[in-house]
Structure 1
């Protein structure tokens, strides 16, 4: 259920901690250690598929990939769409398929959805420079960076060159000030390619609060969670490490704040419902809905799993099938939600990596999503 103390965050509670996600669409950093594998494994439930729906998923391959091993010590998977209902959990993860977890950078999809809703309401446009909405936030000598460039990771923002002192609890404004420190590199012009950067979505969180006069957490609840009945989905308060049970992993290892770029809590059923609603047009007007699948020119030539649409959706081709979604990591878990274009098939997964090799893990996740969709 929704954490009551987080259902309405006052905009004045501004102290926040940020996990600075610098680059890498799927996994920025992985924990090599595994949680104790003491929990009994649950056998995946039988799959049911509509007789005239999409081809049934390869559940035998899914079960093989979910078995604890050298790549992942435990995995939770939920499939849905077009008559398919299938869940399974293995290894040290909670055996409750509705367990709560920090969704990491999947948060960015909620942020871009809010931004597109505000565009549809005429608050600003996709081409509005962020400097017009947040005057004084970026250095005056920088060229304009548009809302669309932030969503699509084509802003040219570079990675920070200085780190926060341990124990710092910066506000969003301080995070951006850190990213724009004069000692660090300014955006390079012209921007030649997409570069995944959490700073883009911190700025978008600030845009949401400026345009609405409400906190980011409040807008998530008012515009997405409550209308869709997402009772386990919310943006925690600053410094809140707690998770309402049941939980997927030890919350003590969670970074206390990542806000509009990676800080939200949800669970597999809620993420499935959100993704289905988003792709089927329940949350956006038609003009903004098209941005979900519009690929910026700068995405050409980018690796398959590092390409993002104008709305920040990952575009991923598996065996000739195009799927859309987002990955995220927080604590010891790495998670993702993917779907075919109209939500005909969805998959939500969360796993505990047992390897520190990001390429190996990405390959494993690709096989997992391919077997599911």
Structure 2
């Protein structure tokens, strides 16, 4: 399809610019610097100790901010060689991609190129049907649009694995989603889904005249020097050094166990979930974002303001802003974003004042499970405290 070919070509061009040299191999499996604060070294070390386990094969962690610095890794590069995990390895960051997408949209809004209060249909009249004509760009970013998820083939992880190299076209995903009845009137509830960010990226392309990948590279990756972060297009591989991801599933011999899922097509996520990065790059990005060096001016508040609506499923207060989410941990507000792709769980977080930042990558064997991976949860609690 024409749009897919355009996106994949743009991604290939971006890769040539931002991928940079290979990440240097790690010298040791674990390294750290003192963090004599609330969580302390013992808690973070304990959170990632003893890998691999049934739940995770590796973990990479960077804690920073004015409260102190700690870096550590645990586990293995792969289950075949059992060599130590590479702390500088790349990984799939999943929905952390949404932070980049929201930041680009807010930059365009700051420049006057994009109006958050205009309807998505006004930018994409040939794609968004009249039934969704009142959905605004802001509602796309806030997950308050009411557009349901598109249909994807396969219900089980085994079926998804067999179909892992399928190319998903963004416009086709939007057509699938908008052919259904809305979940709720726009602006009335919040339902966290990828489709809003797929549409937002198409709006970014329409108003900028360039591919989404080009905009992310020009506006964020290059200025911040994120040389090990890239958007993969349709390439199912993780380029450069990386620790293998595994998913527990039914194997060919009928048993259940971990299967290497490091190679998996990313196009079903696109602007909502396909970015590949490192903990060092995501730490740099998180600090720059919270310090106002990525989104500048009043529109940065969009990322730290929750819409005053209820969650569509639970009835709880909305937890997602434009690109970020907020949880109260250890008695204080922690803003950030988690993400998951098969074999990988990722999280970026910070207190609003930057006193404690956190980035982690956990090679989870059930990265899309109903519950948060135990290792990832222990890292968050070690860094910030209990909810």
Match of 2:319 in 1: 307
Instruction: Return the offset for 1:168.
Output: 4.4
CA contact (8 A) 1:318 1:366 kept: no
Q: Pairwise CA RMSD of aligned residues?
A: 2.9
Instruction: Return the offset for 1:138.
Output: 1.4
Structure 2 distance, partners of 1:108, 1:218, is 16
Match of 2:146 in 1: 156
CA contact (8 A) 1:100 1:246 kept: yes
SS at match of 1:119: helix
- 2:201 corresponds to 1:219: no
- 2:232 corresponds to 1:245: no
Match of 1:20 in 2: none
Match of residue 306, structure 2, among 278, 283, 295: 295
CA contact (8 A) 1:100 1:248 kept: yes
- Alignment CA distance shift 1:261-1:357 (3 Å): closer
SS at match of 2:131: coil
- Alignment CA distance shift 1:62-1:111 (3 Å): same
Match of residue 64, structure 1, among 27, 46, 57: 46
SS at match of 2:189: coil
Match of 2:34 in 1: 47
Match of 2:265 in 1: 255
Please say which of residues 349-358 and 208-217 is displaced more in the overlay: 349-358
Match of 1:74 in 2: 58
- Alignment CA distance shift 1:289-1:307 (3 Å): same
Structure 2 distance, partners of 1:307, 1:299, is 9
- Alignment CA distance shift 1:320-1:83 (3 Å): closer
SS at match of 2:176: helix
Please say which of residues 355-364 and 249-258 is displaced more in the overlay: 355-364
Q: TM-score, normalised by structure 1?
A: 0.80
Structure 2 distance, partners of 1:215, 1:145, is 22
Match of 1:102 in 2: 92
Which structure 1 segments of 5+ residues have no match? 1-9, 17-38, 50-54
Count of residues in correspondence between the two structures: 332
CA contact (8 A) 1:254 1:330 kept: no
Structure 1 distance, partners of 2:306, 2:282, is 23
Q: Greater relative contact order (Cα 8 A, min sep 6): structure 1 or 2?
A: 1
Q: TM-score, normalised by structure 2?
A: 0.77
SS at match of 2:238: coil
- Alignment CA distance shift 1:197-1:283 (3 Å): same
Which structure 2 segments of 5+ residues have no match? 10-25, 78-83, 155-159, 246-260
SS at match of 1:197: coil
Instruction: Return the offset for 1:88.
Output: 1.2
- 2:334 corresponds to 1:347: no
Instruction: Return the offset for 1:270.
Output: 0.5
Match of residue 366, structure 1, among 377, 383, 386: 377
SS at match of 2:220: helix
CA contact (8 A) 2:100 2:323 kept: no
Instruction: Return the offset for 1:228.
Output: 0.6
Instruction: Return the offset for 1:252.
Output: 4.1
Instruction: Return the offset for 1:177.
Output: 0.9
Give runs of aligned pairs for residues 8-23 of structure 1, distance below 5 A.
Answer: 13-14=6-7
CA contact (8 A) 1:41 1:91 kept: no
SS at match of 1:240: coil
Please say which of residues 76-85 and 144-153 is displaced more in the overlay: 76-85
Structure 2 distance, partners of 1:357, 1:149, is 25
SS at match of 2:309: helix
- 2:203 corresponds to 1:207: yes
- Alignment CA distance shift 1:340-1:219 (3 Å): same
SS at match of 1:110: helix
